[in-house]
Copies of this chain bind each other. A is one copy, B any other.
Amino acid sequence: MPRIVDHAKRRREIADALLSIVAEDGIYGATIRAVAARAGWSTGVINHYFSDRRDLLLGGMRRAAEVGAERQQMIGRTMIGRQALEAVLEENLPLDSRRLALSRIFVFFYAEAGVDPAVRLEIDGYLRGWRRQTEVALRAAQECGDIDTNLDPTMTSIELVALADGLGCHALFNDDVLERLRTSSSVRTWVNRLTHQPVA
Summarize A's interface: helix, strand, loop or mixed: helix
Contact residues of A between 84 and 133, Cβ < 8 Å to B: 104, 107-115, 120, 123-124, 127-128
Query: Once the chains bind, are A113 and B173 in contact (CB under 8 Å)?
Result: yes
Q: Indicate if A140 sits at the interface (CB-CB under 8 A).
A: no
Stretch at the interface among A2-10, A11-19, A41-49, A155-163: A155-163
Copies of this chain assembled into the complex: 2
CA of A165 to CA of B168 in the docked complex: distance in angstroms? Answer: 11
Q: Report if A113-B158 is in contact (Cβ < 8 Å); known contacts: A166-B163, A195-B199, A196-B198.
A: no
Q: How far is the CB of A118 from chain B (nearest CB, A)?
A: 12
Query: Once the chains bind, are B180 and A26 in contact (CB under 8 Å)?
Result: no
Q: Indicate if A174 sits at the interface (CB-CB under 8 A).
A: yes
- Binary contact readout A143-173 vs B (1 if CB under 8 angstroms, 0 otherwise): 0000000000001001101111111011011
| A166: B residues at CB distance < 8 A | 161-167, 169
Pick from B110, B172, B199: contact of A196, CB below 8 A.
B199
Pick from B127, B158, B163: contact of A162, CB below 8 A.
B163
Query: Using a CB–CB distance below 8 Å, which chain A residues touch chain B?
Result: 26-28, 104, 107-115, 120, 123-124, 127-128, 155, 158-159, 161-167, 169-170, 172-174, 177, 180, 184, 186, 189-190, 192-196, 198-200
